[in-house]
Amino acid sequence: MATTESGALPRTKATVRALVIAPQWIGDAVMTEPLLRRLHARGEHITVGALPWVAPVYRCMPQVEEVIEFPFAHGGLQLKARRTIAQQIEGRFDVAYVLPNSLKSALLPLLAGIDRRVGYMGEARVGLLTHRLKNPPKDKRPPMVAFYSALSGDTEVSGDRPHLQVSEADVAQTLQGLQLQRGRYAVFVPGAEYGSAKRWPAAHFAALARQQGVPVLLLGSGKDAALCEELVAMAPEQCISLAGKTSLIQAIHVLAASRYVVTNDSGLMHVAAALDVPQVALFGSSSPLHTPPLSQAAQVLWLKNDPAYQPALDCAPCFERECPLGHTRCLQDITSEQVIQRIHALASQ
């Protein structure tokens, strides 16, 4: 059964009731916020259908009235489960915005009988969507915020920045439970779900931690626990691992109250940016031209853009999970001193 959280406003006959099928990655979820803001501004009442590990992001978006958690696992159509949820929501929505590009993500709005179904073409979805946008090639795809915002039908979708909002009372409760004080710690996010080609080396993170004047909290999922414990072993006086020990909403609260954040190109990088937390974002195999931290409080380090770095990184961005050349020079050669310079630059902003 799907679970819901609702604070729905009274509806009139003229209300457009929108169901948004959310992407499955935290960073992508953050980058959909400007689209939802556009839909809300023109009077649409928004319900988001999301996987459980992404749903907390949408509870930090005030324009979202309801979040439905989909009990789907990775892989497979899971047609029976989709039919069950479709029966539960049948007749509730006038339009569906299908944000993922997969065929299975477009099935539920069709099964629920939603008349208007909007999304990008791909994976034989012609019969599943009523309003289709041409999916640009990956090498010509616009920044992800604009990519999602285009589903609104607006002609001008550039320049938007995602914003998340958290309750100060909820943040204070999380900090109290973790025995933390606002602004008295830094956060490092050493993991990256996509693969090692997006991770700054653990030894570099540890060297940076040893040079900090405040405790360093390590955030990540349970999958990052071993990596974070490795950092704790290398910098035991500075590092405290919370990887796998917090829920996503608690991690969001910890980020919101931190002094600054150092992160790879990851979902929590986008969360920190949407909270306008000062941060240094490290890029290697991916590109800040495509998925940057959209915040004036963010500093980006990418050797591809450094004219002083030689030999030039002609291989970047490769967008591979593992370095095809075996050296991951794009991240190995970023020094802790370079990151410290960016941290000092944050303090002067």
Amino acid letter, 335: T
- Answer yes or no: do 211 and 305 share one domain: yes
What pLDDT, on a 0 to 100 scale, did the predictor assign at position 221?
94
159: alpha, beta or left? (left if phi > 0; alpha if psi -120 to 50): left
Is 162 part of a structural domain of the chain?
Answer: no
* Residues 140 and 176 reside in one and the same domain: no
Instruction: Name the least confident of 22-31, 153-162, 198-207.
Output: 153-162
Predicted confidence band of residue 6 (pLDDT cuts 50, 70, 90)? very low
Angle at 225 between CA 222 and CA 227, to 5 degrees: 135
| Bridge partner residues of 50 (DSSP) | 69
Contact residues for 186 (Cβ-Cβ < 8 A; gap 6+):
212, 214, 215, 216, 217, 258, 259, 260, 261, 262
pLDDT in tens, 211-247: 999 999 999 999 999 999 999 999 999 999 999 999 9
Which pLDDT score is estimated for 3?
A: 47
Reading across the β-sheet that carries 216-218, which strands appear in turn?
Answer: 239-241, 216-218, 186-189, 261-264, 279-283, 298-302
Parent domain of 10: 3-152
pLDDT at 73: 78
| CA geometry: angle 177, 269, 174, nearest 5 deg | 10
Which CATH number belongs to the domain containing residue 190 in this structure? 3.40.50.2000
Looking at the chain, the whole-number percentage of residues with pLDDT higher than 90 is 85
**Please, what is the average pLDDT of the chain?**
93
Are residues 240 and 128 part of one domain? Answer: no
Between CA 174 and CA 56 the distance in angstroms is 15
State the pTM of this model: 0.93
- pLDDT classification of 2: cutoffs 50, 70, 90: low
**End-of-domain residue from the set 152, 185, 219:** 152
pLDDT per residue as tens digits for the range 33-78: 999 999 999 999 999 999 999 999 999 999 999 999 999 877 778 8
pLDDT at 126: 86
Percent of the chain scored above 70 by pLDDT? Answer: 96
Looking at the fold, whether 301 and 331 belong to one and the same domain comes out as yes
**pLDDT, greater one: 274 or 72:** 274
Residue type for position 185: Y
* Average pLDDT estimate for 268-276: 98
The band of 13, judged by pLDDT with boundaries at 50, 70 and 90, is very low
CA distance 285 to 330: 7
pLDDT value for 8: 39
Confidence of residue 12 (pLDDT cuts 50, 70, 90): very low
Nearest CA to 284 among 339, 329, 340, 314? Answer: 329
Residue with more model confidence, 298 or 136:
298
24 and 142 belong to one structural domain:
yes
pLDDT tens, residue by residue, 186-199? 999 999 888 899 99
* Longest alpha-carbon distance in the chain: 63
Q: Are residues 82 and 128 in the same domain?
A: yes
H-helix or E-strand spanning residue 16: strand 16-21
